[in-house]
Structure 1
Amino acid sequence: MTDTGSLYWKREDAGALHTLLLEKTRQYGIMFYDAELRITGWNSGAEFITGWTAPEVLGQPTAMLFVPEDRAQRLDEHEANTAALVGVGEDERWHLRRDGSWFWSSGVSLPLHREAGRVTGFVKIFRDATHLRVRTRYLENELKASSERESRRDVFLGTIAHEMRNPLSPLKTAVQLMRMQAGDAAAMERPLQVMERQLGLLERLVEDLVDVARVSTGKMSINYEPVEYQALLNDAVDGCATAAQFKGIAIHRSFPPLPIEVEVDARRMQQVFVNLLNNAVKFTPQGGDVWLTATVDQTHFICYLKDSGKGIEPEMLPRIFDVFTQAESGRADRGAGLGIGLALVKEIVALHQGTVEVRSEGAGKGSEFTVRIPLRRPDAEQGRREQPELPGKP
């Protein structure tokens, strides 16, 4: 029986523990090294974790385990010096395997063999904690993303209050003018036009907010019907004509000459193109241009909407269809909107099993949206392909 203060063990138990740690366990790597930081001992766990065998590492510098950045900072020396000075050197960092891959090492270095008050050797006990590191990083990223979403939501709520307040001031002014000019029908025409336009803006804003709620709860449905493609786009252009004329923006159309029938939810698809056109008009300066080009292939109708407007910064492109992005990015200047229109565009197109993409060469260089929608309702087209041919049918 051996006694070291508060620790007691039988000599045979100590031998069994020695064998277990050095020869049989794979969960923990054990490496012995001397004061010159050269490896003097290597257990089976270290071999299992790193891929290096004992003959390959004995006599080699401990730095062989450290990644290049840490070698450059001489962290192998720092770890040993810390162990010698305070009794333990923590090892929580990336290390190298034999095949060049990295693993996250979690462990400690401890001093051994003191001679004349001087440490002459160390033992390093470590394990592969890569899975824990990856999980921790994932949770950290999720927490950061959640915080960013909350921040965007706060900006969004502040912006929506601003956007809903914008039409109220012209409405209030128009009402005051009407009171001042009561009985003069001609004089009241202009205030009435202002009221109608601002009420239309409020109505569209509320409708978009309701639709965002429908999408988030999975309650938005698609009601397919035959529609003429060109007529659908012309109606969308008409819906944006007043705003375009107000800014002197020309909308150029290029459509196929013959009528093309498609199966879509007409109201929802018009919502898509009105939102895209409104977005183009909002971000195109006075006197600019918007180009609306339509075409078809064998399975889809395609619409290209290009403008000469502000463009989109490269870092915003991946998130331009997120509901909070426009407010967060600072694009939500006066009259610029909340960005919910583009979020709805993406969802409505997806419900039609189509795609929407955006391209921009950067700020000040305009942008181009491309919408691709199946010509026929997807399940109906599948039914046509699967319907067996009737006997005797020519």
Structure 2
Amino acid sequence: MRSIIDVPYLKDGRWKFLLSVARSTAGTWHADEIELIRQLSERIYMGVERSRAEAALRASEDRKAFLLSLSDSLRPLRDPLEVQRVAVAALGLHLKVNRALYFEVQADGDTVRTGPAYLDGVAALPPLQRMSDFGEVTAQYRRNESSVAHDVLADPLLGPAVTDRYAAIDVRAGIGVPLLKEGRVVSVIGVHQAKPRTWTATDVSLIEAVAERTWEAVERARAEAALRESEALMQALIENLPGGAVFVVDQDLRYLIAEGEAITVAGLKSSDFLGKSIREALQEDLVSEYEPFFRKALAGEHFEHEHKSHEHVYLTRGVPLRTAGGEVYAVLAASFDITARKRAEGESREADKRKDEFLAMLAHELRNPLAAIGNATQLMKYLTHDDATVQRPREVIERQLQQLTRLVDDLLDMSRLTWSKINLQQETLSLATMLQRAVEASRPLIDARGHQLTITLPPLSTQVVGDSTRLVQVFGNLLNNAAKYTDTGGHIALHTAVGAEEAIIRVRDNGCGLSASLLPHVFELFTQAGRSLDRSQGGLGVGLALVRSLVKMHGGEVEAHSAGLGQGSEFVVRLPLACSGDALEHTSAKNVTDATTTIAPRLKVLVVEDNADAAEMLVLILRHKGDDVRLARDGPTALEAARDFQPQVVLCDLGLPGLSGFEVAARLREQPECRGTLLVALSGYGRDEDRRQSQSAGFDHHLTKPVDPEVLAALIDQRRLA
């Protein structure tokens, strides 16, 4: 080249490009040549700009068309994984890359799970990777920056360790776009090229746009999936609530959900609730009933409420629904139709009540003949005390009578305990005195079987709080059991130890013992040590169940120990000691002067009893004592006899023909001549409510048949000496 001309093109004061023209010969460039070249440069620039604009327009239209097509493809998809698969496949094809894929970062913030991928000539990535293995790339993601690498081997930000990892997965160029939620990377969309590639800004912006649309579609699909699961769960809940209903109310107490058979049963529809407040949807009485419970749940508490509607009973349970941040936004309430259960419970209670009444009636009917037998043996004792041929049979009858009476008492006591109808007469007791009474009660059986009894009692000052009668019953039962289940001539020990806060009473024997299989069940109702055909030891299997219940009522514990069959048994009772400030109340019976040693007046006694045998024996015993005795067989006759006879003592059965014993007592109290009369109720019923009813009717005492002759004599002697 011998001559050259350079013509720059300037636009808006900026140099856009330079047009250079050269000739092979030397020469001077004329003005017209220079102007021609200048015009040519301007036209060239305008053509280039027009081409660039057209290319940009085409690229923009292609980008818009691609993104529109992608959105159309993603919109109907409901599976989050399918959304990811379609998005990366479209992106990979559009950019003509070797790999496009979706990553999800796990909860630990470092583990990355590989999702669906588009692959073209490269292998799939491992299912799990670590973000921390990719150095500066990870740092860019955490700054919410896209990572762009045109050639990983030439990128100064990537060290050898990172480039080696990229090489292992066939990556020479790539772009990664992160998604952050609450400052934490949760997912990444990336594209990989197996050879170096110069990425344009358009490429980066396109991937970012795809990432944004994909994330939105994934979240929408997940929300829809969660909603479907929630609806399926709700439908399953409704289907498994026969006769029930499910409700959701928001913070304004407006119904968001109301579904279930209970709504139909009430003659309503779901539409009668949805979008309405409880004040708009419910009657006023139901609003006042349920609003406090809904507000309680909105305050973060659970609730449970029973409601009776027409012939149905519903149990409603409510719980607060919370956002991810823990704020309550609604209340979920499920109503269950518990009508059948309530009916069954009522029938069960009624059956138990009938059983209880039957046991009481049975005891009453048993006690009438027992009373007659008891009175007869007592009379035999008076009339034949020096006849050795009669004494032995009489003693047998007395022992068997005591056993029968104890069986009836145990059965009734267990029934009362089942219904929580035993009321303890609490007082501060001397533990030693109470244990002595239990020993005295059990002594006849222990002596009859020839056992040796060893007793260690606490100091008289050791006190417990309880019902003297019931505690004597507890230790009497344990001693009787030891006597029954120990062969003749055995050893029984009653030992007491006193600790800082409790007394420990042990009843030990060397009898038949307890098997390992029986030991855990020994305090259960109707459990016995043996069920042999002969049932030589008798009993109903309620004694130890009674012991456990009564001890628990006194705040104590009882346990059984045995090394096995033939190794004896030990029962340990722990009772809390009375507080040191409690005063000791003596519960021993009042001393009664023996009528045989004191000249006492003869009493007028009226016996009112419809059972002929029991009445005859009782009259004979009282007459043997020297009293003037009259007999009435029914209520009206008793009232007439009382007016004529003016008795000082009336012994009255409660189950009388004509008028009940309660009515007889009430009418006797109305007669001036009987207001000071000692009225004693005789009954086969001995429940606490029976005693209260007797007292209300005007009786001074309530004795349960068969009446202990000594107790009856003591009551009459008290009146005699008054």
Give the TM-score normalised by the residue count of structure 2: 0.28
Give the TM-score normalised by the residue count of structure 1: 0.50
The higher relative CO (CA closer than 8 Å, separation ≥ 6) is in: 1
